[in-house]
Amino acid sequence: MPELPEVETVRRGLNRVTPGAKILGGDLLLDRTIAHPAPGEFIAALTGLTLVTWQRRGKYLLAELQSPATAASGLGKAQLTQAPPSTSYWVVHLRMTGQLLWVDQAEPLAKHTRVRLFFPENRELRFVDTRTFGQMWWVPPDRNLADIIPTLGKLGPEPFSEAFSEDYLADRLQASRRPIKTALLDQTLVAGVGNIYADEALFLSRIRPTTRCDRLSLPQITALRQAVIDVLEKSIGVGGTTFSDFRDVQGLNGNYGGQAWVYGREGEPCLVCGTALDRMRLAGRSSHFCPTCQT
DNA sequence: AGTCGCTCCTGCGTGC
DNA sequence: TGCACGCAGGAGCGAC
């Protein structure tokens, strides 16, 4: 399931192949995928625009799009020369099962293909999403990203940024009585952590998922912050995990050589102390932990 | 305002 | 063999 490391891996893959590519057209196969504008307007809105670069914010992918140079067209010339540089954004959230694949247009369509965008030389960016939770937006040049995508505007700091400081984390956690596992999944606390890395980071910092945020000690908060950073960084470094069926833009699986410490290992021995790992339901999701190592 | 449970959806594994 | 069921989980939403 795409969390920050998988999304970052997709971003890097896209930036190797799509910059400078002009969108020639497309095909929308599932209207529900388009959150903005109206599904019927989506393909037309993107057609003719050029992909500049891909950015990431939390689990969101943001493609910067550029209109054709004013000199390139005789149409609406007067208007265009007055307009500010018209950068718009194509924003994609993979949710649970979304995949962006850079393929040849002759590639057979996967069953759950939702959106196709066509590029020169028979190339295609294809959005495949089994469970249809994935969404995409087009944000026109004169609109703010946060207005069109409110959740994007409410995201907490990036885990690798200075804003994700010990002071920030301590302040936020001390004001909350939620279980720490629940808080880690809250994208307004820190952007990009999902269920897998939340469990892994809690194991690495030896904290029980059920621990109330306001009862964490400062050393625990320090350890947790570092564990979040470490586990995400390590996974990015190896191109996303193989904990899931994640695929990069070339359709290849991640090559994470190691294994999860706790995620998906209920009943198996803790790799540190040998105790059988436990699993419980928290905030509607499975939480895996070692009853001995995590207190 | 903080917190929680429900819901969206499809495929897969399990048990009867 | 076939079927029902639980589970996977990101995040929007309504409820308390």
Tokens of A151: 């959740």
What is the residue-level pLDDT of chain A in tens, covering all 295 positions?
Answer: 689 999 999 999 999 999 999 999 999 999 999 999 999 999 999 999 999 999 999 999 999 999 987 434 444 444 445 444 799 999 999 998 999 999 999 999 998 999 999 999 999 999 999 989 999 999 999 899 999 999 999 999 999 999 999 999 999 999 999 999 999 999 999 999 999 999 999 999 999 999 999 999 999 999 999 999 999 998 888 877 645 567 788 877 654 445 789 988 888 899 999 999 999 888 788 999 999 999 9
Tokens of A92: 């994609």
As a rounded value in angstroms, the CA-to-C1' distance for A132 and C5 is 22
Query: Can you list the alpha helix ranges (DSSP code H) found in chain A?
Result: 4-17, 39-46, 77-82, 145-148, 150-153, 166-174, 180-185, 195-204, 218-237
pTM of the prediction?
0.92
Most distant CA pair in chain A: distance in Å? 73
CB-based contact A240:A12 (threshold 8 Å): no
Return the nearest residue to C9, CA–C1'.
Answer: A96
Contact, A132 CB vs strand C, < 7 Å: no
Contact, A5 CB vs strand C, < 7 Å: no
DSSP per residue over A80-115, as a string? HHHSPP-EEEEEEE-TTTEEEEEEETTSPPPTTEEE
